[in-house]
Amino acid sequence: MIEGKTPDQRTPPSEEMSTTTQNQSPITKNETHNGAEDSVGVKRELDGREAEGAKPTKRPKVEEKETGEQQSVYKSGTIERGHIYFFYRPKVQLEEAHSIDDVKNFHMLLIPWPPAFSITEENASSSNNVNKTDPSLSEEAEMKVLAPGADAVPAPVTQSTTKQHYRFITVGKKKLPDPEGHGSGSRRKEIFWATVTAVGDDLGSLEKGLGEKTYDTKTRGTRHEAPSRLVARGAYAIVNTDAKMMSKRETHLGYHISHPKSSEMVDVQSSLGIYSASSFVLQVKNPHAPTTGPRQVRTKGADYPAWIMRDVFGAAAGKGQKERRGREPYGLRFASCETPELLEYEGAQLLLIAAREGEQGLEDSLAEGRGVALTKLEEEESHETVKQILQELSVDLEVFPSEPLKGEWI
């Protein structure tokens, strides 16, 4: 079991990075209850914090600016991009998985990267040249910025290093919500719970968490868990819509898979709800809001600082403070992912709401050419070998089976 610590408090984002704060979540109370009912088995999967991640790097404490007034943190457009990896681990005492029934946990690994247009070949290859500016390279970077969807394209992985920031997210139902499926009620999309189970800056310790495990128990003796399997890899972007009405604002997480190729994606990927291209709406639960529904995740939740509780969820800043959103002192029950900071705290509870699948669906969700840009990028990256993909994560090809990347259960 890997235990992690919540990062220390951070100062709120500058007002210059935002426009208007969201004041209402697009999901209603009844929908939230029904969404919880869709999450059968979530508590069993997440209780005990069986995350295969690592301890996050402790960040220096900074003083928080407390004004007592709500500040705007919402920013429309791409708020993050990077590479996404999907893993599953077979159940205890099983060396292999031959169907989703043999899967113990299903995870998403997000590794954020700066946009490709901000990285030139010169400063990417040598840290000594970071401050040097070549006019021709600057012009090339400017052209990349002007290209449609450029803000959603992550910089390429230029070297193998364990020092990378990551977030490890456990999906409760052991699969992603299906854009073509239905939740409770014929008009509703599938809604699944997920939890941020690890946040860190060292992929080396993450590799240990993903590897095989052997441990002793008082009642069942020695138990063994086979190593996790990398089942898909691609690029992702998190985009906030620019809706005029605050209640219509949404956060979309869209991805396009490079490995395996779409022609090689068969039962193992489809069983886990992984499409070659897809997206879902992302919402974050207020950790101070009471748990509703018999199957909603019952964990402590993220230990967010006061500025997030105030500026994102609209919690009252102090006793007698009337400036809040919602009817309760804790503010809204759910909010869109107004800032990536919401994902930086272990225990953060997320709602994944199925949106659209396919390359056109990805473009419809991310808009402004971002889906097209991700599709083009992953077509290029699909030529990389499996060995190169595992080197990105600094993991050993001999330790982690690669068959799932070829569409095979193991």
- What pLDDT digit, counting tens, does each position of 342-398 carry? 999 999 999 999 999 999 999 999 999 999 999 999 999 999 998 888 888 888 877
Reported confidence tier of residue 188, pLDDT bands at 50, 70, 90: confident
Q: For position 159, what pLDDT does the model report? A: 64
Per-residue model confidence (pLDDT) at position 146? 67
Q: In the predicted model, is pLDDT for residue 15 greater than 60? A: no
On the question of pLDDT at 141 being above 50, the answer is yes
Which residue, 171, 114, 363, 117, is CA-closest to 254? 363
Mean predicted confidence (pLDDT) in 75-96: 95
Report whether pLDDT(296) > 70: no
Helix or strand run (H / E) with residue 52: none
Higher pLDDT, 52 or 352: 352
- 45 pLDDT higher than 50: no
User: Taking Cα atoms as reference points, which of 167, 19, 171 lies closest to residue 106?
Assistant: 171
Lowest-confidence region among 21-25, 53-57, 227-231: 21-25
27 — pLDDT class (breaks 50, 70, 90): very low
Task: Quick: pLDDT tens for 204-237.
Answer: 888 888 989 999 999 999 999 999 999 999 999 9
Tokens encoding 37:
């009912």
The confidence score (pLDDT) of residue 185 equals 59
Given a cut of 50, is residue 29 above it in pLDDT?
Answer: no
Window from 2-11, 89-98, 251-260, 390-399 with minimum mean pLDDT: 2-11
For 304-342, the pLDDT digits (tens) are: 999 999 999 988 665 545 556 667 888 899 999 999 999
Cis peptide upstream of residue 260 (ω within 30 degrees of 0): yes
The C-alpha angle with vertex 106 and arms to 101 and 112, in degrees rounded to 5, equals 165
The two tokens of residue 67 are 């004004």
Contact 387, 341 (CB under 8 A): no
Q: Under DSSP, is residue 366 helix (H, G, I), strand (E, B) or coil?
A: helix
Question: Angle 303-309-314 (CA atoms, 0-180°, nearest 5)?
Answer: 155
**Residue 286 scores a pLDDT above 70:** yes
Residues 150-171: tens digit of each pLDDT: 999 999 886 667 889 999 999 9
The predicted pLDDT at position 187 comes to 58
Would the pTM of this model clear 0.75, i.e. be above it?
yes
Q: Using alpha carbons only, give the angle 345, 349, 354 rounded to the nearest 5 degrees.
A: 125
Q: Give how far Cα 98 sits from Cα of 88, 218, 398, Å.
A: 12, 29, 20
Q: What is the mean pLDDT of residues 55-67?
A: 44
Number of Cβ within 10 Å of residue 122's Cβ equals: 13
What does the pLDDT read at residue 318? Answer: 54
Q: Distances in Å between the alpha carbon of 305 and those of 20, 120, 196, 229?
A: 20, 36, 16, 35
- Higher-scoring residue by pLDDT: 358, 145: 358
Convert 143-194 into a string of H (helix), E (strand) and C (coil): HHHHCCCHHHCECCCCCCCCCCCEEEEEECCCCCCCCCCCCCCCCCCCEEEE
Mean pLDDT over 286-304 rounds to: 79
- pLDDT for the residue numbered 205: 85
Q: Could you give the 3-state DSSP secondary structure of residue 373?
A: helix
Peptide bond into 404 cis (omega under 30): no
